[in-house]
Amino acid sequence: MSNKSDKPDWAPKDAGNEFATRVIHGVSGGHDGMRGPVGTEAQANKAIPRRRRLSVDDYVGGVLAGDRNALGQAITLVESNAQAHMEMAQEVLRRVIPHSGRSIRIGITGVPGAGKSTFIEALGLYLCERGHRVAVLAVDPSSKVTGGSILGDKTRMELLSRDLRAFIRPSPSSGTLGGVTRKSRETILVCEAAGFDVILVETVGVGQSETTVRSMVDFFLLVMIAGAGDELQGIKKGIMELADALLVNKADGDNKPRAKAAKLEYNRALHYLAPATDGWQTRAYSCSSLTGEGIPEIWSIVEAFREKTVESGVLEKRRRAQTLDWVYSMVEEHLRASFFQHAGVERIRAEIEHDVTWGRMPPTVAVQHLIAEFEGNTGS
């Protein structure tokens, strides 16, 4: 994959290209993510120089060479909703997937303000210094066109976003959780093919997003804060059952004793919960993402988890199950979309809904009508 001469020059370029001053936008439906060191080509980023259309070979070669720009563009392609892009994206994916999978995928959740982003930055920097390459993604179904309300606050990861060993990508902007999920899973694979060996996926506790992120990572970390009321902890119980580790953040200054106490309390509570992963005891830890205290320890927990689950085969089993799960969730997504876009269904829907809501038609009968309409016209 090193036939450099055939590939487009990914570097700041287009010198001598007569079209260089023309401006086009990238592939629609996504964003290019964060770029290299701050201050580099701030201008050029605003006006993306016209580049020739990339071929599948260009994307694949660039990604496998670990090129950051190519990676950003490949993710943009994968995130695109345009039909032409989808076909190309699938071909790119087909070719990069054999090079994916060699990373540890970590999901990070917790209430807004718990310090997830600050933690990710601290952990990310720590890992980069130790020779890892870290990709940070967000799954944020609530984010709209501006792209990723979680990571929109870039200042939180200012240092990490400047580090060339790291790659930060905001949440895909479009629509449903299903859509965001599909894209995020594909993005993980593309990042892995580009040589990132640690994938950190940040999500907030909005609706189903935690369960969804759990279904795409190896290790799931719940970031907590001390002093959250019982009600909050009650809400979080379901999520505690998904977690491979709880992390009480902000264990610094005056808050340190409270954080330690919360850690003990959570450990007691965890005693009564079924572990999220076979053969692994979920425990609570504490750290300060500001001072960095406890960050190496939590990483050693992740490493211990990996070692143990690789050896027992639990990790591989989980990934296989996740892949199948992914297949069927895409099937469901497809079926749901075809049902609601079906012309016949659309035609009769309003009347049926009216009858059902006014008690003139039993729901079961409504279902029969709708499905009959749908199946009658799809030839099945």
- Residue ranges that bind ligand GDP, judged by CB under 6 A: 110, 112-118, 156, 249-250, 252, 288-290
Residue 250 contact partner, candidates ligand GDP, Mg ion, none, CB within 5 to 8 A by sort of partner: ligand GDP
Nearer of residues 111 and 191 to ligand GDP, judged by Cβ: 111
- Residue located via tokens 């505690």: 240
- Minimum CB separation of residue 161 from Mg ion in Å reads 13
From ligand GDP, Mg ion, none, interface partner of 329 (C-beta below 5 to 8 A by class): none
Residue 28 CB neighbours (<10 A): 11
Give the total of residues touching Mg ion (CB under 5 A): 3
150 binds Mg ion (CB under 5 A): yes
Q: Which residue is nearest to Mg ion (CB)?
A: 117
Judged by beta carbon, residue 114 or residue 222, the one nearer ligand GDP is 114
How remote is the C-alpha of 257 from its chain's centroid?
Answer: 33
Task: Examine residue 103 and tell whether it contacts Mg ion (CB under 5 A).
Answer: no
Q: Give min distance, CB of 172 to Mg ion, in A.
A: 16
Nearer to Mg ion, 117 or 288 (CB): 117
> 297: number of CA atoms within 13 Å, CB side?
15
Residue number, 118 or 267, with CB nearest to ligand GDP: 118
The answer to whether 285 and 273 are in contact (CB under 8 A) is no
What three-state secondary structure class fits 32?
Answer: coil
Instruction: Kindly list the distances between the CA atom of residue 100 and the CA atoms of 166, 187, 326, in Å, as whole numbers in the listed order.
Output: 17, 11, 16
Contact predicate 281/249, CB 8 Å: no
Which pair of structure tokens corresponds to residue 114?
């718990």
- CB neighbours of 270 closer than 8 A, spacing ≥ 6? 240, 246, 281, 282, 283, 284
The one of ligand GDP, Mg ion, none whose footprint includes residue 114, by CB under 5 to 8 A per kind, is: ligand GDP
User: Pick from Mg ion, ligand GDP, none: which does 161 bind, CB < 5 to 8 A by kind?
Assistant: none
Binding-site partner at residue 113 among ligand GDP, Mg ion, none, CB < 5 to 8 Å by type: ligand GDP
With CB under 5 to 8 Å by kind, the binding choice for 249 among ligand GDP, Mg ion, none is: ligand GDP
Determine the straight-line distance between the first and last CA of the chain, rounded to whole angstroms: 45
Q: What is the DSSP letter of 208?
A: T
Paired tokens of 340: 């609601």
Residue closer to ligand GDP by CB (options 8, 148) is 148
CB atoms within 10 A of CB 24: 11
Distance CA 24, CA 43 (A): 14
Looking up tokens 């330690």, which residue turns up?
Answer: 260
Binding mask 58-97 for Mg ion (x = CB under 5 A): ----------------------------------------
Query: Is the Cβ of residue 112 or residue 227 nearer to Mg ion in the bound state?
Result: 112
**Residue 206 interacting entry, from Mg ion, ligand GDP, none, C-beta within 5 to 8 Å by type:** none
Query: Of these partners, ligand GDP, Mg ion, none, which one is at the site of residue 288 (CB under 5 to 8 Å by kind)?
Result: ligand GDP
Q: Residue of minimal CB distance from ligand GDP?
A: 115
Structural contact between residues 284 and 263, judged by C-beta atoms closer than 8 angstroms: yes
**Cβ-based nearer residue to ligand GDP, 116 or 132:** 116
Q: Which does 183 bind (CB under 5 to 8 A by kind): ligand GDP, Mg ion, none?
A: none
CA angle 25, 30, 31 (to 5 degrees): 70
- The minimum distance between CB 129 and ligand GDP, in angstroms, equals 19
Rounded distance, CA 286 to CA 284, Å?
Answer: 7
Q: Is 112 helix (H, G, I), strand (E, B) or coil?
A: coil
One residue of 76, 103, 117, 184 binding Mg ion per CB under 5 A? 117
344, 376 contact by CB (below 8 A):
yes
Any contact of residue 173 with Mg ion (CB under 5 A)?
A: no
Backbone angles phi, psi at 344, to 5 degrees: -65, -45
Q: Does 161 bind Mg ion (CB under 5 A)?
A: no
Single-letter code of the amino acid located at 313 = G
| Contact residues for Mg ion, defined by CB under 5 A | 116-117, 150
